[in-house]
Structure 1
């Protein structure tokens, strides 16, 4: 099953609610994952790009890669978005931890289980919850470093021969860095951290009993 359709890439209204934040993170993660994966394959395949998809094994490999790269992009973007809340609003670490987990949980639970990932996304949610709990949300690392996992996932999962990947690593990573840079620029202008935090606080029982400090 294909990922849900990408939102049209345009200037969005301010992100002021938790639901809007989840939708923003989801749509931008899918955009980055799909455009960089398909762009890399098309560049390497050249004129064979369309005919490659006639091979069922190749098509399956692309679909597997699509989901794995998207999941990593989603987790990276969830961390970045939550760090944005921390910069704009006086949020407690436990609130930020719970919000980050909520973003990933909501986005993954909204997806039907794809044939390429029959185990579902429970492992993603579990791993991200552990990551969120271990994160010092008020001492977050530089923005660019937050996206290193998705850069590595693109190289790892793209169905390209290893001997070619070795030569392509920096070019491929830079293509994704460029996409993320645009996402960060748009998000910084769209996010209303105070409003999102207020909306989050209005939802009962969202903060864990303790969080990373």
Structure 2
């Protein structure tokens, strides 16, 4: 199944590590792809169908969304960490290590995108691990503030020439904020916290 088709599937309640990993995967893909598609369509206007039908632009979109996917994982991963942390107690360090490993394992589900290349993909992987680790150094952020450090990087990946982007950064940043808040609400509504905490604690104790 294609990475960016996963979010169309209904997922079961999030009660174990596998379900949480699937949630992180699907929501990260949804977050970055939806923004890229909607922004590109908005900028193209009436010519959107023509633009998306062009092979060159389709390749640019594919390149953009794979570049953006690790950013989506970083944002969703930090959001999940903020949900789990208050209940981690003295196992916080072990749970953060487990979450970092989980997020990286999600990225590793997919082969290196040919348009990115192995070296750049490994750099993105290392940066993803670093960003999840950085969450240990500060109190959990408000969900709407999590995209702030990555919003400009994400906006720069849009497959639209920078001269045609206009003053659209604020709109894209607000999209990330609202979307991540919606993802957070879905996580809260689906999570089986006691079961998930037991799964993390058991894994951390191994």
Instruction: Report TM bin, short chain.
Output: 0.7 to 0.9
What runs of 5+ residues in structure 1 fail to find an aligned partner? 207-213
Shift of 1:138: 7.2
Which residues of 2 match residues 43-82 of structure 1 at below 5 A? 43-82=42-81
Whether the 8 Å CA contact 2:88–2:95 is kept in 1: the answer is no
Aligned twin of 1:123 = 123
Residue range with higher mean Cα deviation, 76-85 or 151-160 = 151-160
Whether the 8 Å CA contact 2:29–2:72 is kept in 1: the answer is yes
Whether the 8 Å CA contact 1:97–1:137 is kept in 2: the answer is no
Q: TM-score, normalised by structure 1?
A: 0.83
Q: Distance in 2 between matches of 1:182 and 1:105?
A: 23
Q: Distance in 1 between matches of 2:196 and 2:104?
A: 17
Shift of 1:42: 0.6
Whether the 8 Å CA contact 1:6–1:27 is kept in 2: the answer is yes
User: Deviation string for 1:166-195 (max 9, x for gaps)?
Assistant: 411112222232222211111122223332
Shift of 1:122: 2.4
Q: Distance in 2 between matches of 1:20 and 1:85?
A: 15
Residue range with higher mean Cα deviation, 62-71 or 157-166 = 157-166
Q: Distance in 2 between matches of 1:145 and 1:191?
A: 22
User: Deviation string for 1:126-177 (max 9, x for gaps)?
Assistant: 2232333333267222222212244333311002232333411112222232
Q: Distance in 1 between matches of 2:160 and 2:7?
A: 27
Q: TM-score, normalised by structure 2?
A: 0.85
1:196 and 2:180 correspond: no
Which residues of 2 match residues 154-173 of structure 1 at below 5 A? 154-173=154-173
Aligned twin of 2:100 = 101
Shift of 1:112: 2.0
Whether the 8 Å CA contact 2:6–2:26 is kept in 1: the answer is yes
Aligned twin of 1:36 = 35
Q: Distance in 2 between matches of 1:24 and 1:133?
A: 20
What runs of 5+ residues in structure 2 fail to find an aligned partner? none
Greater fraction helix: 2
Shift of 1:52: 1.9
- Pick closer, same or farther for the CA change 1:136–1:96 going to 2, 3 Å: same
Aligned twin of 2:185 = 185
